[in-house]
Amino acid sequence: MYIWTGFDYLGEPTPYSWPARSSYFGIVDLAGFPKDAYYMYQSEWTDTPVLHVFPHWNWREGETVDIWAYTNCEEVELLLNGESLGTKRKSGDELRIQWRVPFAPGTLKAIGRTSGKEPMIHEVKTAGAPAGIVLAADRSFIAADGDDLSFVTVSVVDGKGVVVPDADNLIEFTVLGEGKIIGVDNGLQTSGESFKATSRKAFNGLCLAVIQSTEVAGNITVKAASAGLNESVVVIVTN
């Protein structure tokens, strides 16, 4: 098959108008964060074990929510706060498994089973109020050549470390040592924020900072802070 397109890109926000300024139909967004469809393609076209349950689990009490699972497991059982909501399988040309679930705060737990293999588990938890920031660098060691990059994912989390799915806190970055920040993003197609900045608002609880090395070996210290949140630091080594 042919897919248009792998990444969201600037321009062609069809069918939306301003303030939309980028496409919506990528498998990953402008920041490189996978969308839900990313896991659908994996489940259909790779041998990688896949179990992806969505959406988030922050809703109003009593709302009925459609829960989807993309998987290549033979069957998936869904539990809410330990109570089974049933085991289902895909059939025919179905690309997903689906449940309709009245919302109650807590934990959705999906258990994917395939004969002869260890079960796969994916949990989705109700998040509380934003409390802190977690930084994760895709590469902790990069070349000191003035060109190499590390992509640092920023997650806004609650007091238990759960990503807050509607968090839009403004994150301020400080970079010390042998590197600099050369780009920021959050994947929001309607954002008018500059990609060249030292701050970015979170979108769906996430944003991204792109860090570049200098030509001198050493350490790069990246700090992320936001009003009312516990700050976070990550260190990237260049050599």
Q: Which domain holds residue 118?
A: 36-125
User: The CATH number of the domain where 98 resides is what?
Assistant: 2.60.40.10
Average pLDDT over residues 16-30: 95
* Local structure of 145: helix, strand or coil: coil
- What's the pLDDT score for residue 4? 87
pLDDT-derived band at 33, boundaries 50, 70, 90 = very high
Q: Is the peptide bond before 55 cis (omega within 30 degrees of 0)?
A: yes
Q: Which of 84, 122, 86, 126 is nearest to 103 (CA)?
A: 126
Say whether both 100 and 58 belong to one domain: yes
Report the C-alpha gap between 234 and 222 in whole angstroms. Answer: 5
Please give the model's pTM, rounded to 2 decimal places.
0.94
pLDDT-derived band at 186, boundaries 50, 70, 90 = very high
Six token digits for residue 152: 């640092």
pLDDT-derived band at 52, boundaries 50, 70, 90 = very high
Six token digits for residue 113: 């089973």
H helices of the chain, in order, are 36-45
The total number of structural domains that make up the chain? 2
- What's the pLDDT score for residue 116? 86
Percentage of the chain lying above the pLDDT 70 cut = 100
**pLDDT of 88-115, one tens digit each?**
999 999 999 999 999 999 999 999 999 9
Say whether both 174 and 217 belong to one domain: yes
- Contact between residue 200 and residue 226 where contact means Cβ atoms under 8 Å apart: no
Task: Give the largest CA-CA distance in the chain.
Answer: 57
Report the C-alpha gap between 32 and 100 in whole angstroms. Answer: 30
Task: Let me know if residue 110 belongs to a domain.
Answer: yes
Say whether both 56 and 148 belong to one domain: no
Pairing of strands 120-125, 51-54: unpaired
pLDDT-derived band at 191, boundaries 50, 70, 90 = very high
Say whether both 92 and 155 belong to one domain: no
